[in-house]
Amino acid sequence: ERVWPILRYIYATNIGCDIFRQRKSVKLQVLVAAPGMEFITGDQPAVNTYGAFVPARTEIKELELFYPVSPARAVILSGHSVYQDMHGKALEPLRMAYLNQALERIAYEQLFAHSDEALKPLAPYFCLRPPAR
């Protein structure tokens, strides 16, 4: 616990350096919510989607940062072909659900949405988790 303030700077520097090195292949894309859907957010709003669905302490070799900016817009820093040329285009509903679920999986204690409808599909999973420590 006492070394975390130092480690956080080391990790941030390493991530920043890696993003800079991959700047030609990893692009920042603005994503538009699928029609009738909205992005959610939580108390941990930036998520590496590659790490959201694996067991804790699993080494993740790739980085794909997803950050919802508003209910209608989000940004993703990704080299994945799914997001190439997606800048400003509406996502498919299945991809939207995946990104919202990734955010739900890494949330510590709280999820936020513009409407109750956006949280209803995730509520059964989030509410059944053991309490955060």
Residue with the two structure tokens 């285009």: 89
DSSP classification of residue 90: B
pLDDT digits (tens, 9 = 90+) for 35-57: 999 999 999 889 999 888 888 88
pLDDT digits (tens, 9 = 90+) for 7-40: 999 999 998 998 899 888 888 899 999 999 999 9
Asked if residues 100 and 118 have their Cβ atoms less than 8 Å apart, the reply is: yes
DSSP classification of residue 108: S
Enter the pTM of the model. 0.82
